C-alpha cells in the first residue's frame, strides 16, 4: 500500500487537529479521505476547511459501510473508543485510537482481542512517547546505567482547570460521560510514560478527593503509592486544582538518580553501585562519589504528527509501532486500580480485578448527573481530550 486513506471519527478538539495535519500533508503516505461526526456544525466546518474530495458522514455505521477509508483515527469521548475500534477492525480497517484506550479494562481487553484477530495495525495516540526526554530516560534505565530501580516519584500538578472548563460540556467530569477525572482525562500520557520507562507496579494504595476544588463528580486531587515486584516503591501525585503546578519526574536506582523537570534531564550518577558501596564502606558517615550530569537530548519532539507518521509507516512499510494500541491497557490498569483503591479504601493488585472495577463504576454511573443513555450511544461531536 503506497497511500493510506484515513478517516477520522470525531471532529472535536483533537480530531480537528489531526484532520488539519493530514489535510496539510504533514503525514507522508497518509491522505484524509473522510470525516464522521454527529454534530452538523463540525461537518459544515469540515466541508469548508478541509478541501474537496473528503467524504462526510453523520453516523459511524454509514462511515464503516462506505469503503471510504483504509484506516481510521478515533477521537471521540472515552467510552466510545473500544466500541468504535472493534467495529473498525470488523470492517478491515487499521486503527489509531486517541487516549485513553477506554474507561475500564474489561472493555479494552475486548478491543485488544479484536485487534489481534484482525491482523490490522493498531496504534494509540501516546504522543509523549515521541519526546526525546522520555526516550532517553527509558534508554538509561533499560541499559542498566541507573542500576536496579529503588523509587519513582512523579508530581504532575500543572493541569490547572477552572470551573468554566468543566462547565463547557455536560459530559465533562462525570462518571457517565467521561468515566473519571484528572486520571482519565489529563494523566493517561504520564501513567503510560511511568510504566513505559519504569515497568508496571504490582499493587497500589490511592487516596483521592472527588470535587475537592471544583463542582464535579470525579477526582481532581490524587496521591497514590505503588510497589514494584523488586521491592521498589513509587508515588504519583496529580491535581487540576493547583496553580502554579509542578511537573517533576524523579527515578532513583542503585547507580544514582534521574530527574526530568523544566524540559531537562539531569542524572546524578554514582561512580559505583550504592549497594556495593554499602557493603565495602567502613567509615561510618559517607556516601558514594556522585557526578551531576546534564544529559544532552537530541532528536525532535514530533508529538501527534510523529505518532501518525509512525502508524502510517507501520501500515505501508511494516515499521515497528512506537505506541502499540494493545499497550493502552497498561496505564488504564494503573488508573483503574487507583480508583478502585480509593473507592474501597484498600490495596489493589495490578492487573486490576476488571469485574469488580466494572461493578463499582456502574454504581457511580447510576448516580451521575450525565444520563447513562448518552454513554451508550455513539457520541461523536467532542473528542476525549485534555
Q: What's the CA gap between 204 and 208, in Å, rounded? A: 13
DSSP structure string for 172-193: TT-TTTTS-SHHHHT-HHHHHH
**Coil/strand/helix, residue 337:** helix
> Tens digit of pLDDT for each residue in 25-44?
999 999 999 999 999 999 99
Closest to 368 measured CA to CA, from 103, 213, 180, 101 = 180
Please give the share of the chain, as a percent, with pLDDT higher than 70: 96
Query: CA dist 57 to 6, 23, 37, 47, 70, Å?
Result: 14, 17, 6, 11, 16
- Rama region for 53: left / alpha / beta (φ>0; ψ in -120 to 50; rest): left
> Tens digit of pLDDT for each residue in 199-239?
999 999 999 999 999 999 999 999 999 999 999 999 999 99
- CATH of region 129-301+330-362: 3.30.360.10
Q: What's the CA gap between 238 and 12, in Å, rounded? A: 25
What is the pLDDT confidence band of residue 384, given thresholds at 50, 70 and 90?
very low
Answer whether the bond into residue 232 is a cis peptide, omega within 30°.
no
Mean pLDDT of 158-175: 93
Q: Do the domains 4-128+303-324 and 129-301+330-362 sit in the same CATH topology, yes or no?
A: no
pLDDT mean across residues, the chain? 94
Whether the pLDDT of residue 378 is over 90: the answer is no
> Judging by beta carbons within 10 Å of its beta carbon (0-12, 13-18, 19+), is residue 282 exposed, middle or buried?
exposed
pLDDT at 233: 98
What is the pLDDT confidence band of residue 381, given thresholds at 50, 70 and 90?
very low
Beta strands 203-210 and 219-227 are antiparallel
Structural domain boundaries of the chain? Answer: 4-128+303-324, 129-301+330-362
Q: Which residues pair with 293 in a beta bridge?
A: 267
What's this model's pTM, rounded to 2 decimal places?
0.94
> Tens digit of pLDDT for each residue in 251-290?
999 999 999 999 999 999 999 999 999 999 999 999 999 9
Name the CATH code of domain 4-128+303-324 (choices 3.30.450.20, 3.40.50.720, 1.10.600.10, 2.40.30.10): 3.40.50.720
Amino acid at each position: 500500500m503506497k497511500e493510506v486513506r484515513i478517516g477520522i471519527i470525531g471532529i472535536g478538539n483533537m480530531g480537528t487537529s489531526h484532520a488539519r495535519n493530514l489535510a496539510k500533508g504533514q503525514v507522508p503516505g497518509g491522505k484524509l479521505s473522510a470525516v464522521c461526526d454527529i454534530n452538523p456544525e463540525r461537518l459544515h466546518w469540515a466541508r469548508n476547511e478541509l478541501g474537496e474530495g473528503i467524504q462526510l458522514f453523520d453516523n459511524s455505521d454509514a462511515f464503516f459501510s462506505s469503503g471510504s477509508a483504509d484506516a481510521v483515527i478515533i477521537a471521540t469521548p472515552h467510552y466510545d473508543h473500544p466500541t468504535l475500534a472493534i467495529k473498525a477492525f470488523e470492517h478491515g480497517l487499521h486503527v489509531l485510537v486517541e487516549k485513553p484506550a477506554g474507561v475500564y479494562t474489561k472493555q479494552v481487553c475486548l478491543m485488544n482481542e479484536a485487534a489481534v484477530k484482525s491482523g490490522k495495525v493498531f496504534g494509540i495516540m501516546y504522543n509523549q512517547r515521541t519526546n526525546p526526554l522520555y526516550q532517553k530516560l527509558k534508554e538509561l534505565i533499560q541499559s542498566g546505567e541507573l542500576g536496579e530501580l529503588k523509587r519513582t516519584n512523579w508530581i504532575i500538578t500543572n493541569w490547572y482547570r477552572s470551573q468554566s472548563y468543566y462547565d463547557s460540556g455536560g459530559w465533562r467530569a462525570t462518571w457517565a460521560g467521561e468515566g473519571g477525572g484528572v486520571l482519565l482525562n489529563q494523566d493517561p500520557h504520564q501513567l503510560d510514560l511511568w510504566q513505559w520507562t519504569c515497568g508496571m507496579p504490582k499493587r497500589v494504595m490511592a487516596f483521592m478527593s472527588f470535587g475537592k476544588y471544583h463542582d464535579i463528580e470525579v477526582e481532581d486531587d490524587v496521591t497514590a503509592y505503588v510497589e514494584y515486584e523488586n521491592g521498589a516503591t513509587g508515588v504519583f501525585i496529580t491535581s487540576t486544582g493547583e496553580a502554579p503546578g509542578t511537573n517533576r519526574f524523579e527515578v532513583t536506582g542503585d547507580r544514582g538518580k534521574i530527574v526530568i523537570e523544566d524540559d531537562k534531564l539531569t542524572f546524578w550518577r554514582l561512580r559505583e553501585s550504592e549497594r556495593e558501596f554499602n557493603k565495602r564502606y567502613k567509615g561510618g558517615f559517607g556516601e558514594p562519589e556522585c557526578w551531576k550530569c546534564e544529559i544532552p537530548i537530541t532528536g525532535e519532539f514530533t508529538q501527534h504528527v510523529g505518532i501518525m507518521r509512525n502508524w502510517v509507516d507501520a501500515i505501508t512499510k511494516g515499521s515497528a509501532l512506537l505506541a502499540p494500541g494493545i499497550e493502552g491497557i497498561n496505564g488504564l490498569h494503573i488508573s483503574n486500580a487507583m480508583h478502585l483503591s480509593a473507592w474501597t479504601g484498600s490495596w489493589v493488585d495490578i492487573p486490576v480485578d476488571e469485574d469488580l472495577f466494572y461493578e463499582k463504576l456502574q454504581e457511580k454511573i447510576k448516580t451521575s448527573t450525565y444520563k447513562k443513555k448518552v454513554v451508550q450511544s455513539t457520541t461523536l461531536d467532542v473528542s476525549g481530550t485534555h
